[in-house]
Structure 1
Amino acid sequence: MVKFTIKILVAFKNAVLNFGEYGIPKKSASLAYYTLFAIAPLLFFIFSIGSLFYGEEILEGQVFQKLNGFVGPEVATFLQNLLENITIGGKSNIATIISFGTLLIIASGVFSEIQDSINDIWSLEVKSSGGIMGIIKSRILSFSMILSLGFLMLVTLLLNSVLAVVEDGLNEVMSGMSIILITIINWAVLISIISLLFYLIFKLLPDAKFSNRVSIAGAVLTTLLFLLGKELIGIYLGKSDLDSVYGTGGTMVLLLSWVYYSSMILFFGAAFTKNLASLGEEGLKSNDNAVFVEKKKKEISDEEVINKEA
């Protein structure tokens, strides 16, 4: 356990030292720009999945209430309006299929962008795209991430409903203590759900193989940084008078800024996970369709540091 803790500290140090060398700011800007076009289709598919199990109005109300806590009321309202403006019904069958396919390609492209960026951070290069089948496989993987998001959203809503019932019961028995207990449970659920999302991203998207222990450690650290960053980003954006500078485009700038800073946290977490996997006994191995590309990093003496401390 002590040795693994030392590895975590060394991996964190490497991620900090090579933050710019990994090109994280540039990759984050690219993802933020792409997300600007993909956010509406992405929301459409996630809510389409969720509406199969929940009423549409109830689903929107609860989800955007949660989003309000993450991105602020202006951006949450903006996203809700985007979702309401997407319609693919009321057209011919061919037009509907084309519209649906276009939205799917755009939405899944976000995860393809994340996959390419993490592969680059991890010094991975895909041997070939695999032609049409390779593209289809990549899109299926990306769509599976969309399905995962929809599933996680449903789980979150279900847990919130259960917690509401539990809270009512505890209020009758424990009164004020129930507030503290429910708050702790809410935070535990939130951390677990977001950690699971990051775990899926780090485990499924990159063309590499590594231990589950590393995936979990990377996901948990990224989640904690994400939640901390959310508060700091909120404070920064709250003090930035973007509306007076950008006028009606202020909400768009808020969205881009939030995605940009959140993307930096995601890619930093990916860098940390890569470094931690490289220091492990199982190491970081490429999939059959990818190879490692040599890059000079400031990580040469890390094994010596770990062995010395151990």
Structure 2
Amino acid sequence: MWNVAKEGWTLLRESIVGFINDNALSHGAAMAFYATTSLAPILLIVVAIAGMALGNDAAQLALSAQLSGLMGPQSAELLQATLENASHKEAGTLASILGLVTLLVTASGVFGEMQVALNEIWKVKPGKTSISSLVRARAASLGLVAALG
């Protein structure tokens, strides 16, 4: 019994030390930031696609209802206001372009940060990175995002 408790304590202590030494909180915060900032552009694209079939107002209303259930009414209202401001005819094209660029940067940033975090946790030293290999890696990340929907 004593050995099990001692081994459990050792495992817990080593896990906490490893968690701190690998900067897990910082990497988690970075991935959360990228995921959060990619949410609005993704929703803008979802509303645009659903708007073709249902109409823009119906698509926004349906999305707002779903978001209220998932995130609570205040967060849903914030995202709804963001979508309404971005979907104005005057700002629609500019918002779409900015949303697409933001989506490309943030969605691929999640995977880039995940790679850095896993390399640090598994003690893998990254090789030299050229611009072309970075672009290929980011394109592969975006392909994965597109494939997963």
TM-score relative to the length of structure 1 = 0.34
Q: Secondary structure at the match of 1:51?
A: helix
Residue segments in structure 1 that go unaligned for 5+ positions in a row: 1-11, 151-310
Q: Tell me if 1:135 matches 2:144.
A: no
Tell me: CA distance 1:61–1:148, structure 2 relative to 1, closer, same or farther (3 Å).
farther
Bigger relative contact order, structure 1 or 2, given CA contacts below 8 A and separation 6+? Answer: 1
Q: Tell me if 1:84 matches 2:110.
A: no
Deviations 1:154-206 (A, max 9, x none): xxxxxxxxxxxxxxxxxxxxxxxxxxxxxxxxxxxxxxxxxxxxxxxxxxxxx
Structure 2 partner of 1:190: none
**1:117: Cα distance to partner?**
2.6
Map 1:180-191 to 2 at 5 A. Answer: none
Tell me: CA distance 1:52–1:71, structure 2 relative to 1, closer, same or farther (3 Å).
closer
CA distance in 1, matches of 2:61, 2:47: 11
Deviations 1:105-131 (A, max 9, x none): 333233333333333333334323342
Structure 1 partner of 2:28: 28
**1:100: Cα distance to partner?**
5.8
Report the count of equivalent residues. 135
Letter in 2 for 1:124: V
Q: Secondary structure at the match of 2:19?
A: coil
8 Å Cα contact 1:31-1:113 kept in structure 2: yes
CA distance in 1, matches of 2:40, 2:101: 12
Q: Secondary structure at the match of 1:85?
A: helix
Structure 2 partner of 1:146: 145
CA distance in 2, matches of 1:60, 1:96: 16
The RMSD of aligned alpha carbons is 3.9
8 Å Cα contact 2:41-2:100 kept in structure 1: no
**1:53: Cα distance to partner?**
7.6
**1:142: Cα distance to partner?**
2.9
**1:89: Cα distance to partner?**
6.3
Tell me: CA distance 1:98–1:75, structure 2 relative to 1, closer, same or farther (3 Å).
closer
8 Å Cα contact 1:89-1:96 kept in structure 2: no
Structure 2 partner of 1:115: 115
Map 1:251-290 to 2 at 5 A. Answer: none
8 Å Cα contact 1:88-1:100 kept in structure 2: no
Map 1:290-301 to 2 at 5 A. Answer: none
Residue segments in structure 2 that go unaligned for 5+ positions in a row: 1-10
CA distance in 2, matches of 1:141, 1:51: 26
Letter in 1 for 2:42: L
8 Å Cα contact 1:46-1:147 kept in structure 2: no
CA distance in 1, matches of 2:14, 2:59: 38
